[in-house]
Amino acid sequence: MTYKLKSKVQKATKDLSPKQMEKVFSKVAAYFNVLSDPVRLRIMYAVCAGEKSVSEVVEMCGTSQANVSRHLLALHNAGILLRRKEGVTVYYSIADNATVEMCQTVCAKIAEDIQ
C-alpha cells in the first residue's frame, strides 16, 4: 500500500518545480489545519453517516449552533463538505470521500491505541 501511495504522489508531482511543490506543501498544511479542530472532526463523524441538517449536527456535536455553523462554513470552504438549502433548513454532506477515508483510518488507529 505504501508503494501505491508513493507512486500516486510521485505521478501527481513529477512535473512540478520546487516553487510549485512549495505551493503544494502550503496547501496541504492549510488543508490539515482545517481538520485540526476536534469540533470539526465531530462534525465530520456526524456527517459521514449521511446528509444532516445544521440542527442535527448541533445535536450530535453537543455545542452551540453558532459554533457548529462556524465550523461547517470552514469545512465547506475547504471543499470537504457540500451544502444545500431547502426552505430555511441547510443540509451538509460529504464532498470529499478521500478526506473521510483518511480521517476514519487515523481515528481507527488512535482508537485501537487507546484500548
7 part of a folded domain? no
Contacts of 21 (CB under 8 A, 6+ apart): 13
Residue 60 clears pLDDT 90, i.e. is over it: yes
Q: Given this model, what pLDDT does residue 15 score?
A: 87
43 part of a folded domain? yes
Residue 46 clears pLDDT 80, i.e. is over it: yes
Residue 54 lies in domain: 19-114
Residue 1 clears pLDDT 60, i.e. is over it: no
The tally of domains found in the chain comes to 1
Whole-prediction pTM: 0.80
Burial class (CB in 10 A: 0-12, 13-18, 19+), 80: buried
CATH of the domain at 36: 1.10.10.10
Per-residue confidence band for 75, with pLDDT thresholds at 50, 70 and 90 = very high
Residue 69 clears pLDDT 90, i.e. is over it: yes
32 part of a folded domain? yes
Distances (CA, A) of 36 to 50, 86, 114: 22, 30, 19
